[in-house]
Amino acid sequence: MTHAWPLAHGGALTWDELALVVALYVLLGLVVLAGRRSRAGDGVDESSSNDIDAYGGAAIVVDDVSFRRGRDWTIRNVDLQVEPASFVVIAGANGAGKTTLLGLIAGREVPSAGTILIGGINPHLTPDLAAALVGVVDHQSLLYPRLTVRENLEYFAALHGLDDERRRIARALALVQLRDRADSRVDRLSHGQRQRASLARAILHGPRVLLLDEPFSGLDLSGADGLEHLLGQLRDAGITVVMTTHDLERAVALADRVLVVAEKTIAADIDCAAFGPVATKVRCREILIGSAGAQTPAPAIPVGST
């Protein structure tokens, strides 16, 4: 074998050995790429487009979407249109697919079949464009715990390429009422304050759509009341909100529509204004309890409540 190059004390790397190392690195890269791509599902709709007109200007369109992990279907054949500036709650039992549906809309998961559009943009084809339209509040804070609230917002403002960073940060902090804790580290905030900081991060870039996954989880009464008030303000400001929650009381207080996810699809789409708050809650309970197979009868509707 000829040496690739002579080294100081006779130790040398042959061309074969060098080729092996390069091949190992290329193989590593291919394995990583293959692993990422295999998570993308096996039925992405190649004909999907960014044509908002085809869907009548809806803020969110979910068109016959299904999703599976391995062999298990998490949701199947979900059709949904969410109008701009509306507030939609997705309710359902644990494991029904609420978080998966939200993750698909957010672009974190790729549908195994069907199309999702946000403001006419397919988040899986043009994720950067969709990222500017969507804000997400998750179970996790999506914040750096050892940085302050302000430092986190500055970093995410830079990631979004926002020019008027200071004004946006000030406005977000004012909206979530965290101005006095802006220079506190995130890991030193209470759960409710962390939730509000997360909301500030989500609305910093002025999204048209806000997706929230169980935002009231773990909050005490005061924190939940504060968050409910905030979400109401965002709804009144014209932001389209989609929220998953187990808290039907707050859901009904905020929502224009309640979607009940059961049997891996949307089992009911309830217009809260038409049904009224009590009937909406009763109907949700009927579907949720029915899908769980429980025998508990639905409570009677009080006279005069609708």
Partner 1 sequence: MTARKDLRAEARGGAVLSVWLTLGIVLLAVVLVTVATVDADAAAIAPSALWLVFALISTMAFGRGFRDEHAHGAWQAVLAAPAPASAVFLGKVGANLVLTLIAELAVIIAYSLVVEWPASTAVLAAAVLLGTIGISVVGTFVAAFTSERDSGDLLLPLMTLPVLVPLVALAAQLTRQGLGDGVEGGWWVLVILLAGYDLIVLATATLAFGFASAKV
Helix (H, G, I), strand (E, B) or coil at 45: coil
Least gap, CB of 32 to partner 1 (angstroms): 5
Can you say whether the dihedral through the CA atoms of 178, 182, 186, 188 is positive or negative?
A: negative
With respect to partner 1, which residue has the nearer C-beta, 48 or 291? 48
Closest CA to 34 of 26, 44, 23: 26
What is the CB-side half-sphere exposure of residue 204 using CA atoms within 13 A?
31
Nearest-approach distance from CB 208 to partner 1, in angstroms? 15
| Comparison of 11 and 297: residue with beta carbon closer to partner 1 | 11
CB 250 within 8 A of CB 224: yes
The DSSP 8-state label assigned to residue 304 in this structure reads T
State in angstroms the smallest separation of the CB of 243 from partner 1: 18
Spatial strand order in the sheet of 113-118: 72-82, 60-69, 113-118
- What single-letter DSSP state applies at residue 55? G
Nearer to partner 1, 198 or 245 (CB): 198
- CB nearer to partner 1: give 65 or 131: 131
* Count of beta carbons in the 10 Å neighbourhood of residue 11: 8
- Strand 240-244 to strand 209-213: parallel, antiparallel, or no bridges (unpaired)? parallel
Q: How far is the CB of 218 from partner 1 (least distance, A)?
A: 15
- Give CA torsion, residues 272, 274, 278, 284, to 10 deg: -60
Of 18 and 54, CB closest to partner 1:
18
Query: Which stretch of DSSP H or E encloses residue 153?
Result: helix 149-159
Q: Among residues 109 and 247, whose Cβ is nearest to partner 1?
A: 109
Least CB distance to partner 1 at residue 33 (A): 5
Give the residue with the Cβ less far from partner 1, 55 or 155: 155
Cα(173)–Cα(167) distance, rounded to whole angstroms? 10
Q: At its nearest, how many Å lie between partner 1 and the CB of residue 128?
A: 4
Q: In the bound complex, what is the minimum distance in angstroms from residue 229's beta carbon to partner 1? A: 25
Q: How far is the CB of 145 from partner 1 (least distance, A)?
A: 6
CB 266 within 8 A of CB 260: yes
Nearer to partner 1, 44 or 52 (CB): 44
CB 14, min distance to partner 1, A = 12
Which two tokens mark 99?
A: 């978080």
Interface residues toward partner 1, by CB under 8 A:
5-9, 11, 13, 18, 21-22, 24-25, 28-29, 32-33, 35-37, 40, 44, 106-108, 110, 124-125, 127-129, 131-132, 136, 138-147, 151, 155-156, 158-161, 185, 201
Q: Nearest-CA neighbor of 234 among 201, 270, 207, 195?
A: 207
Q: Decide whether 46 or 53 has the Cβ nearer to partner 1.
A: 46
Q: How far apart are CA 122 and CA 205, in angstroms?
A: 19
- Tokens standing for 250? 């707050």
